[in-house]
């Protein structure tokens, strides 16, 4: 035990240095960490859809639909932030086309790389049209992205509100007399009991 203490001064002791009956404590993930994890999952949802399209050898048109759905999810998130902040979000076709082109290029590049890798191990023949499998992939990926964004936004909003409430409570506890003054306000007039009613200003 002394050897463990000597080798880990200033750091957390490993579980091997603790007594056998000592329970291992794990720190739970904070809501902000969960929110960030959901955001990361949202970013990876559409590339995962491309992987499914390549593995199932579906139509290349699915890449265009996934890119369009990715733009739609981004628009929903922009509208949610605009509703919270109270600002207007102008939506124009000229503003959407660059984002759509970037997303389409990224997803198409991933699709081509995956097809090249799969072609090394098997014959690859893409479907010529859309089917129920394509609808299931598109709806599943888009629905997951929307749900993850909604849960992430709610967790982040709740955590920020909790932090602000804690800061306000700490400020009031540190300054208990802030915002108060000696005297009373009666019918819109300030009355100082030490100076008397004649010295109070009139409106």
Mean pLDDT of all residues in 186-191: 50
Q: 15-19, 62-66, 120-124, 160-164: which has the minimum mean pLDDT?
A: 15-19
Higher pLDDT, 15 or 157: 157
Q: Closest by alpha carbon to 144, among 70, 53, 63, 36?
A: 70
Mean pLDDT of 55-83: 89
Residue 36 DSSP SS3: helix
Tally of residues, the chain: 203
Q: Of all helices (H) and strands (E), which one includes residue 124? A: none
Percent of the chain residues topping a pLDDT of 70: 67
Residue 113 to residue 167: CA distance in whole angstroms: 50
- Dihedral over alpha carbons 71, 74, 76, 78 (to 10 degrees): -130
Pairing of strands 184-186, 189-191: antiparallel
Where in the chain are the domains?
A: 30-160
Burial, 134: exposed, middle or buried (Cβ in 10 Å; 0-12, 13-18, 19+)? buried
- Banded pLDDT at 20 (limits 50, 70, 90): low
Could you give the CA distance from residue 61 to residue 150 in angstroms, rounded to a whole number?
28
**Per-residue pLDDT reduced to its tens digit, 91-117:** 777 788 898 999 999 999 999 999 999
Mean pLDDT over 55-66 rounds to 92
pLDDT at position 67, please?
Answer: 94
The whole-number pLDDT of residue 195 equals: 58
Bridge partners, residue 11, by sequence: none
Q: Where do we find the tokens 């023949």?
A: 125
Average pLDDT over residues 76-87: 79
* Residue 62 pLDDT class (50, 70, 90 cuts): very high
pLDDT band per the 50, 70, 90 thresholds, residue 185: very low
Do 43 and 87 touch, CB atoms closer than 8 A?
A: no
């Amino acid at each position: 035990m002394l050897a463990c203490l000597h080798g880990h001064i200033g750091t957390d002791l490993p579980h091997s240095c603790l007594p056998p009956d000592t329970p291992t404590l794990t720190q739970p993930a904070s809501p902000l960490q969960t929110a960030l994890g959901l955001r990361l999952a949202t970013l990876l949802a559409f590339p995962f859809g491309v992987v499914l399209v390549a593995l199932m050898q579906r139509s290349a048109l699915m890449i265009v639909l996934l890119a369009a759905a990715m733009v739609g999810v981004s628009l929903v998130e922009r509208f949610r932030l605009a509703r919270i902040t109270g600002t207007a979000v102008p939506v124009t076709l000229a503003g959407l086309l660059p984002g759509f082109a970037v997303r389409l290029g990224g997803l198409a590049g991933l699709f081509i790389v995956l097809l090249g890798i799969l072609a090394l191990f098997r014959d690859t023949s893409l479907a010529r049209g859309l089917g129920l499998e394509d609808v299931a992939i598109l709806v599943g990926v888009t629905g997951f992205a929307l749900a993850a964004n909604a849960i992430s936004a709610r967790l982040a909003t709740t955590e920020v509100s909790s932090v602000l409430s804690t800061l306000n409570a700490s400020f009031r506890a540190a300054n208990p007399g802030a915002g108060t003054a000696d005297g009373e306000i009666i019918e819109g007039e300030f009355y100082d009991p030490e100076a008397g009613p004649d010295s109070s200003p009139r409106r």
